[in-house]
Amino acid sequence: MVFDETYGALLDPAGLYRADEELLRDPSLKGLNLLMAFTGFADAGHVVRQLSGELLDLPGARPVAVFDADQLLDYRSRRPHMSFVEDHLQDYTPPRLALYLLEDPLGTPFLFLGGFEPDLQWERFARAVVSLVERLDVNLVTWVHSIPMPVPHTRPVGVTVHGNRPELIEGISVWKPTVEVPAAIGHVLELKLIGAGRNVAGYVIHVPHYVADAEYPQAAVAGMEYLGAAASLMLPTDRLREVGRDVARQIAEQVAASEDVQQVVKNLEERYDEYSGNTVRRSLLADENDELPSAESLGAAVEAYLAQELFQQEDGPASSDGEGPHAGSD
């Protein structure tokens, strides 16, 4: 057992999860990047739910450690759903929180910790995650969540970045407040991981408040691409982009049908533009038009980078004035 003097509590994470010990001992898992996303806190635009679904649909996902939901979840506060079909019940899926080993479409392995946000035992859960991160010697931890903001859907999706990696933070955030916020487990993990000397970057995606209760794929794409750029991964966004185009058309039709809504959007645009002014923001993703690149252009950039790395291995160091397409990533 481990005694934590700060809280005077026994916080040994033993028994909080079951792990694939053979997989944990695999040296190929050492030094990977870890992505995190938890449902249950804000999740404006259902960003975490959409993003997690896309990642867990990647072929070959393998659970490394699965946490015990019965110890961490208050079922009466967040009751699982099931279907009643005429005369019987079906489609019950137990809540799941797990650490997975995944590969992006280019075959680059990474870790993903995703599922429900624990209701209980936050300190013990945090200790468990830190111990797994240290055992696997994780290179970089990045995590994402989303909040509703008074911003228009007609402007680029905004983001606030935090953590201890200046090259992933400086010049990117569009909103840099000093405020008290209700803590999420991601915030607690970020503080604990930084305290343990690990590299962490967190991304808060800004979702227009008037679409926060519905799925907003544009924000999920932004979250996916920021995580991918930080962790040097090609994450899947094609389906989200396609759905996002349909959502954009639906929003445009609803705005066009109401002068009141048009005025609300116009007011938000004016406030956004006034706040943004002429500030030039560095972005890991945006092109000269402040648009997110397509999957094809990101793929070409990654392929060019890999070719450059291969050239350096065969012919020695590249010229010092060469520029990589993943500036600011690991």
Q: Which domains does the chain have, with CATH numbers?
A: 3-74+85-315 (3.40.50.10900)
CA pair distance 193, 142, nearest whole angstrom: 11
User: Which range, of 21-35, 177-191, 270-284, 285-299, averages the lowest pLDDT?
Assistant: 285-299
One-character DSSP codes across 94-159: ---EEEEEEE-TTS-EEEEEEEEPPSS-HHHHHHHHHHHHHHTT-S-EEEEEEEEES--TTSPPPE
Lowest pLDDT segment from 7-16, 156-165, 315-324? 315-324
Residue 92 and residue 142 in contact, taking contact as beta carbons nearer than 8 Å: no
pLDDT digits over 199-258, tens only? 999 999 999 999 999 999 999 999 999 999 999 999 999 999 999 999 999 999 999 999
- Give CA–CA dist 29/101, Å, rounded: 8
In this structure, the dihedral spanned by the alpha carbons of residues 181, 186, 187 and 191, taken in order and rounded to 10 degrees, is 170
Q: Taking all residues of the chain, what is their mean pLDDT, rounded to a whole number?
A: 85
Q: What is the pTM of this model?
A: 0.81
pLDDT tens sequence across 131-154: 999 999 999 999 999 999 999 999
d(CA 138, CA 130): 10
For residue 264, the Cα-to-chain-centroid distance in whole angstroms is 30
- What is the pairing mode between strands 34-39 and 62-67? unpaired
Distance separating alpha carbons of residues 56 and 67, to the nearest angstrom: 16
* Rounded percentage of the chain residues whose pLDDT exceeds 70: 80
The identity of residue 31, as a single letter, is G
